[in-house]
Structure 1
Amino acid sequence: MNSRSYDLSQNASEPTKSSKPIPLGDQRKAVLRQELMVLLMNLGMLINGTTLALPAVTLDQLTNPVEPVHLNKSQASWYASASVIACPIGCFSGVFLVDKFGRKVSVCLVNIFGVLAWILMSTATYDDPSYVFLQLMASRLLSGVAAGSGSSPAAVYGAEVCLPKLRARLTNATSMAIAAGVLLVYIVGYFVREDWRMVGIVMLIYQFICLVILIPVKETPSWLLSKGRVDEAKASLSYFRGLDEGETHQEVEDEFTLLRVEVPLKAKKEKSLFFKSFCLPEVYKPLLIAIFFFVCQQFSGTFVVVVYAVQIITKAGVLIDPFLCAIYVGIARFIVTSVVITWQLENWGRRQVSMFSAATTSLCLFVLAGSSWFTWLQIPTLSAVVIVTFVVASAGLWTIPFLIMPEIFPQKVRGAFCGFTVGVADLIAFSSIKIFPSMIDWIGTGNVFAFYGGIAVLTIFFVYWFIPETKVSTANRFLNTYYLTNKIII
């Protein structure tokens, strides 16, 4: 193939004699390509949020004894948590899919599973409640598999196609997609609260569109290189750095050389080192750190409030429509996740955002606990403000574990161990969501929120001592591996 040289100043904005040329990856054309591909990959990831928030807008109708088909208390708790217990199936299978078939194919499978799950929900039209429950459970389990399968490939995709300067914003797109999915379900539920099957139909249409628009997505250069597809990997890197087909530039050549060092080519006969990697300190130390970080995330109530949003708002005595209040909560979380957290990550770094989020989250939880203990704090307006503030404050705990996960694992095991870690995290999430109603019965609402607040306080110290700062430049990306391998004592 004949290659054309590329003038770095072509897409730059009229450089002066004293100004430095803009790097290829930071030029507008390259940034737009990175943003577009990451956006297309993450649109389907709304299923993580829609699946999580679905019980909040459907449980009222599904548990209403006036309805001809309704669920009992035990069935309702399984309906709320079934998708989370199924997530590890998707995550653990995704461990191998994301590395064997690539990031793009993995996300296509997520959308296919999602389409099937919404079909099951929207066609549950039996008169017998037992059959409806079984079909709803099948739908929830399949959507959980879809959500689990999509937990790592989209995040890994963002980390691999963008430069460090854009990594926080584009990797955060997965968390933004989850927040957007929560908001989408709250909005749909507000308008069709009396027809849970229609909610399934709306989500089915959306999920099918997400599957179709994945066609033009480019695979990451890292994965292509790991499979020995060198020419395709170089073409992919050139695309994400703003070059047209056939163009080349020394900056891309240098980055590709660095990438080949970081992602050594694998012989076809080489077997997977997934299980052997558990013994490597640069793998098991970040794994333990990530898993405990997810423990702190889940038992700080971040997911519980999303799943039981309408019910918690109702119990708090908030006077406005709980479905409308849930939309306000969803809007607040999306805005904070997409704008505020992204800005904080780019300016503060991961550690400071995590500690600030944990501190403010614990404060909100202790206020909620106090409102259950003391009558003088039982003010509906105060409860509404604190719940919304909690959602805003916990956005950091919601986002950071997913963000640092692909950044702290070595490239050779990143896809596999990201999937494995999220699988374990989903088991933890299932535990927190499933036992929440029982915890309320056992120790009372106030004590549950106090327990969550204590875990949030513990998170501050955990982040301070064990979470490395991953906001680094390309030249320093290897420092994290050294830090995790040699400096952290576990």
Structure 2
Amino acid sequence: MFLALNQQWTLLVVVAVQTTSISIGMGQGFSAVLLPQLENSSFNVDSETSSWIASLGVISTPIGALASGLLAEVIGRKWTIESTGIPFLLGWILMAVAQSQLWLYAGRFITGFAIGMAAACYVYLAEISRPDERGLMAALGPVCVSLGVLMVYSMGYFMDWHLSSVVCAAMAAFSMFIIYFLPESPPYLASKGKYHKAQDVLTFLRGSADEAEKEMTQVLQSVNKTKKLTWQEYMGQVKDPAVWKPFIILIVFFLCQEGSGMYVIVYYATDLFQNVGPVLDSSVESIIVGVVRLVVSIIGAACIQRFGRRTLAMFASIGMGLSMAGASGYTYAYGDVAQDDRPYNYFPFVCLVFHVIMSMMGMLQLPWLMMGELFPLKVRGLMSGIVSSLAYLFIFAIVKIYPNLMAWFQLWGMLALFSGVSVFTLVFVYFFLPETQGFSLIEIENNFRKGSKAEAVEPDPVYILRV
């Protein structure tokens, strides 16, 4: 009974943290409903202004992610997540009372900063979860992001964007309230010399003193490598294979993710469906995609718990590549034909929905999940902040140049580009992405050091790293 009770408390901790992901989804999806409403307002929004309103929600995100990495090492994982509510609240309030484009720019910029700060969630969840449940716990993040996207899509259909901003602000306030009561992660506590408190939190989370003691031994193995480091020594850790290898892998993995077009669909859903040829009202199609994202993200979370990271990444890449190729080919063949005269005119919309389905089966979640898995404790907070900062910079780039891609390559060419990146992702995953499913964080760290001068470890024939 005690074990079951504590497992329930662990799940409640995870759900509480993931409410921040709902705010992330609201921030990411807001431009898709805001921009169509602004077209008929006094804000005089043109295509250039629209691209800035959409992309300003991302341009500040790298700064927030970098700040989260630094704060996670200084004030802790929990308090970094807690503090994300402050810029979320400020940004949503500015947009709720916006009187000009400048107010919208400021609101989008500040909420984008908050989205970046929320990257600390993945580090926190990786550090409080068991190895066999770490994937599921982290995969709940994209589920909650999808819920946030669906909520803001739906609000945009039924209510004015000012009121939608108020609801989003209320969500951020709720997150701040419940996260206040959560414990700090045991590895962070141990790294600060609070061993007894770390042991108590582990016992609470695991529901077993014996299991907590065993895991505490592994935590201390990582902690022992972090003591008495000067700033120069800390920065010198980049030479460690357990640091530079995952850094390169994650950067390429994120480039593949952004280049597949999944965030273009999130930020420009209504506009993109209008361009490929709407079957229904474009806003209704956006809501349908939001529902699909939510449902499939739940399925994807279950799959991440059951299947390996590499298997899911390759499966998702194949599906995403085929779906974008199908939409590109159809648009190339019938792009100049009137909508009512096209055969199977619902086909490109179905392809884009299938792309969303396949992305939620692995490619959207995995880079973020693995960011909290691959780095050693001594640099996990900072390096995760740096990587997530660069990842959000990539998202900003693809969101900002979306109108340019449409102009340079036309719609069919842009979709073909997304398909080609998915094919490249398949190759990259097969040759370079390591498997982390079921491995403890210390085992992952040690496997990156195989063949180096680091401490020898027992070879693991299942964990393969082709770097």
* TM-score where L is the length of structure 1: 0.87
Partner-residue secondary structure (3-state), 1:341 = helix
1:367 & 1:226 partners in 2: Cα distance?
51
> Which structure would you say has the larger Rg?
1
Q: Say if 2:172 is the partner of 1:196.
A: no
Aligned 8 A contact 2:270 2:283 in 1: yes
The residue that corresponds to 1:241 in the other structure is 206
Aligned 8 A contact 2:189 2:198 in 1: yes
2:447 & 2:280 partners in 1: Cα distance?
48
Aligned 8 A contact 1:33 1:240 in 2: yes
Aligned 8 A contact 1:47 1:143 in 2: no
Q: Say if 2:411 is the partner of 1:435.
A: no
The residue that corresponds to 1:186 in the other structure is 153
The residue that corresponds to 1:374 in the other structure is 333
Q: Say if 2:129 is the partner of 1:169.
A: no
2:171 & 2:238 partners in 1: Cα distance?
39
2:136 & 2:232 partners in 1: Cα distance?
31
Change (3 A) 1:269 1:386: closer
Matches within 5 A, 1:17-28: 27-28=3-4
Aligned 8 A contact 2:327 2:347 in 1: no
1:456 & 1:71 partners in 2: Cα distance?
33
Aligned 8 A contact 2:60 2:112 in 1: yes
Matches within 5 A, 1:14-413: 27-64=3-40, 67-125=41-99, 132-151=100-119, 153-192=120-159, 195-242=160-207, 249-264=209-224, 270-271=230-231, 273-338=233-298, 340-375=299-334, 379-395=344-360, 396-413=362-379
Aligned 8 A contact 2:242 2:448 in 1: yes
2:211 & 2:130 partners in 1: Cα distance?
13
CA deviation after TM superposition for structure 1 residue 456, in Å: 0.2
Partner-residue secondary structure (3-state), 1:394 = helix
* Structure 2 gaps, min length 5: 454-463
The residue that corresponds to 1:14 in the other structure is none
Aligned 8 A contact 1:310 1:323 in 2: yes
2:384 & 2:329 partners in 1: Cα distance?
38
1:353 & 1:34 partners in 2: Cα distance?
26
The residue that corresponds to 1:455 in the other structure is 421
Change (3 A) 1:83 1:483: farther
The residue that corresponds to 1:4 in the other structure is none
**For residue 164 of structure 2, what is the amino acid of its counterpart?**
V
Partner-residue secondary structure (3-state), 1:277 = helix
1:215 & 1:48 partners in 2: Cα distance?
18
Partner-residue secondary structure (3-state), 2:148 = helix
Aligned 8 A contact 2:97 2:162 in 1: yes
| Residues 354-402 of structure 1 deviation map (CA, whole Å, 9 limit, x = unaligned) | 0000000000000110121112976332222212111101112111111
Partner-residue secondary structure (3-state), 1:164 = coil
2:154 & 2:295 partners in 1: Cα distance?
15
Partner-residue secondary structure (3-state), 1:45 = helix
CA deviation after TM superposition for structure 1 residue 276, in Å: 1.9
What do you get for the CA RMSD once the two structures are aligned? 2.1
1:62 & 1:228 partners in 2: Cα distance?
53
1:481 & 1:165 partners in 2: Cα distance?
20
The counterpart of 1:469, out of the listed 423, 429, 435, is 435
Change (3 A) 1:265 1:77: same
Identity of aligned residues (%): 30
Change (3 A) 1:485 1:458: farther
The residue that corresponds to 1:22 in the other structure is none
2:328 & 2:219 partners in 1: Cα distance?
51
2:392 & 2:136 partners in 1: Cα distance?
24
| Residues 322-365 of structure 1 deviation map (CA, whole Å, 9 limit, x = unaligned) | 22211111111122112x21222222210000000000000000
Aligned 8 A contact 2:433 2:466 in 1: no
**For residue 99 of structure 1, what is the amino acid of its counterpart?**
E
Q: What number of residue pairs does the alignment pair up? A: 449
Aligned 8 A contact 2:241 2:448 in 1: no
1:467 & 1:347 partners in 2: Cα distance?
18
**For residue 183 of structure 2, what is the amino acid of its counterpart?**
K
